[in-house]
Amino acid sequence: MEEHRRSGKILHDLTCTDPTGWVERADLERDALSLLAGEAGRHYDPQPTGLLSAREALSRRFGGSPDHWTLCASTSEGYSLLFQLLANPGERIAVCRPSYPLLDDLARHGGLSLVDIPLHWADSRWQLDIGWVEKHLKDPAVRALVLIQPGNPTGWWLSTNEREKVLSLCRTHRKALICDEVFSEDLHKDGFLSLHNEDSALTFVLGGLSKSLGLPQFKLGWIHASGPQNLLEISMERLSRLNDSLLSASTIMQFALDELLEMEKRLHAPIQMRCLENLRLLSNFSNERIELLPSGGGWSRILRLIESDELTICWNLLSKGVLVQPGFLYDLPGQNIVISILSEPSCFFAGLTTIHNMLLDNKSCICS
């Protein structure tokens, strides 16, 4: 892949999830950058959980008390902080699979290990294996459960029944729930229900500017905590101490956060338009050797291969200048390729056309 990229042989990159630098967002991005030049940014004001003005802005946007918000540099750092808060080295965190391959590294850096809870594809939807949730949460060494909703790349989120059972199990076994909701602004069907302000179990919801405003270079993320009052107070005190050791959230970004959040709809509109256009193109994509798995949201889509080997398909597509991801990168069962609906539409269409034509060639597709 790197050799092809360096030599300019990748003509259609269907893995790109970078929303920055688009022509249609140029003026909006410049407006966002101009907000960082305020007079307040000339002063350094370190606060353990972030500036009060920034936490108040998040409270107005998402609800909850400003005292229950913590500012950090990114969602990834938010995970690391919560792993340190909730578990000691040698203990375990339960995570859902398939998922984006980030948590393995973050857990390893903290001396933790992960245990997997499978998402099963059945009845045309992803379903959480509640039996495995219960099995792992009964384990004293498992300290928390991580959910990503909408999932990446599955687009899955908790059904009403799954939500009730997960919260009940976390409450019963006194385990924390970490919910990554960075794609909650990218919904493509109804039914999503955030875990913000859930108070039946100790719950932490992650978010940030990277996905909600499409500004990953601004490097600002957040953690919202909720739950039973006694657990919440202890957790916020300890989280404050952990974050005070880092103070990684930019003061300039925090001063600008209120105005940035006011730009959210305008900054996100081009992203949503591109996703919808590519989903329209994808809905017209028909090939008997591939199945598009329905998804509730996010920037990725899974194409399940019929009688084809995913790695063979990826290599053959790369030879024709089309870059896609094999499903094993996300621990997807079976044979799949994963594509981004954030790709530029003409590039997306050309890549789909190449995929379609290749899958008609039995010699390059059938599993050996």
Phi-psi region of 159 (alpha: psi -120 to 50; beta: other; left: phi over 0): beta
Question: Starting from the edge strand earliest in sequence, which strands make up the sheet with 336-340, in order?
Answer: 290-292, 300-305, 336-340, 325-326
* Predicted pLDDT of residue 361: 74
Residue type, 20: T
Give residue limits of the domains in the chain.
Answer: 2-17+265-365, 34-262
Q: Tell me: the pLDDT tens digits for 55-109?
A: 999 999 999 999 999 999 999 999 999 999 999 999 999 999 999 889 999 999 9
- How many Cα atoms within 13 Å fall on the side-chain side of residue 176? 24
Convert 22-53 to b/e letters by CB count within 10 Å (16 or more is b).
Answer: beebeebbeebeebeeeeebeeeeebbbbbee
pTM: 0.95
Q: Is the dihedral of CA 138, 144, 150, 152 positive or negative?
A: negative
Q: Which parts of the chain have pLDDT scores under 50?
A: 364-368
Who's near 214: CB < 8 A, 6+ residues apart?
Answer: 19, 20, 25, 267, 268, 270, 271
Q: Tell me: the pLDDT tens digits for 144-155?
A: 999 999 999 999
Instruction: Give the DSSP per-residue string, 331-350.
Output: T-SSSEEEEETTS-HHHHHH
* Predicted pLDDT of residue 364: 46
CB 128 within 8 A of CB 121: no
- Return mean pLDDT, the chain: 94
* Predicted pLDDT of residue 159: 96
CB 204 within 8 A of CB 177: yes
Classify domain 34-262 at the CATH topology level: Aspartate Aminotransferase; domain 2 (3.40.640)
Which helix (H) or strand (E) element contains residue 69? strand 69-72
Determine the Cα–Cα distance for residues 177 and 166; give it in Å rounded to an integer.
9
| CATH topology agreement for domains 2-17+265-365 and 34-262 | no
CB 308 within 8 A of CB 366: yes
Who's near 257: CB < 8 A, 6+ residues apart?
Answer: 53, 54, 57, 58, 220
| Residue closest to 183 by CA, chosen among 145, 129, 217, 147 | 147
Q: Domain 2-17+265-365 class? A: alpha beta
